[in-house]
Amino acid sequence: MDNCVFCKIIAGEIPSRKVYENEEIVVFEDIEPITRIHLLCVPKEHYKTIAELNEFRAETLGRAFYTLGKVLPSLGLQDGYRIVINQGEQAGQTVPHLHLHILGGEKLGWGK
Ligand code: 5GP
Ligand code: ZN
């Protein structure tokens, strides 16, 4: 989609520090990390929230969790991490292309 920063990263038009990629998803470092390790896992197809899931997108997202479970421990997250999806502006979503935040590399608190 035009004007989507994550679509541009996926297309290679904006540089990013990629740590994993396959046909369906890309995982790269957040440009403004809020934890010692802060990764973003982004499906390559553009849509905004889980309200727009269809069967294909849901399967891709499910496989993304499966893949992350295998890959993340080898990326410095072996002691635990948190996966967050901000859905909509009130929840703090600033990029309208669905993405999972992967937060870790340190002890995490809990709260809103
Ligand atoms: P949201 O607030 O939509 O849940 O998260 C968007 C995230 O994307 C933010 O944590 C922000 O730092 C990150 N971000 C925004 N623009 C870029 C960029 O150009 N490159 C990278 N690597 N991360 C970005
Ligand atoms: Zn996009």
- pLDDT tens for each residue of 54-91: 999 999 999 999 999 999 999 999 999 999 999 999 99
pLDDT tens-digit readout, 1-47: 889 999 999 999 999 999 999 999 999 999 999 999 999 999 999 99
Written as one string, the DSSP assignment of 6-21 is HHHHHTTSS---EEEE
94 lines ligand 1 (CB under 6 A): yes
* 79 CA to centre of ligand 1 in angstroms: 24
Q: Is 111 a residue whose pLDDT tops 90?
A: no
State whether the beta carbon of 88 lies less than 6 angstroms from ligand 1: no
Please state the atom number of ligand 1 nearest to the C-alpha of residue 17.
22
Q: Is the pLDDT of residue 112 over 80?
A: no
Which domains occur in the chain, in start order? 5-92 (3.30.428.10)
Could you tell me where the DSSP H helices lie in the chain?
5-10, 55-71
Cα(43) to centroid(ligand 2), Å = 9
Annotation marks residue 38 as catalytic: no
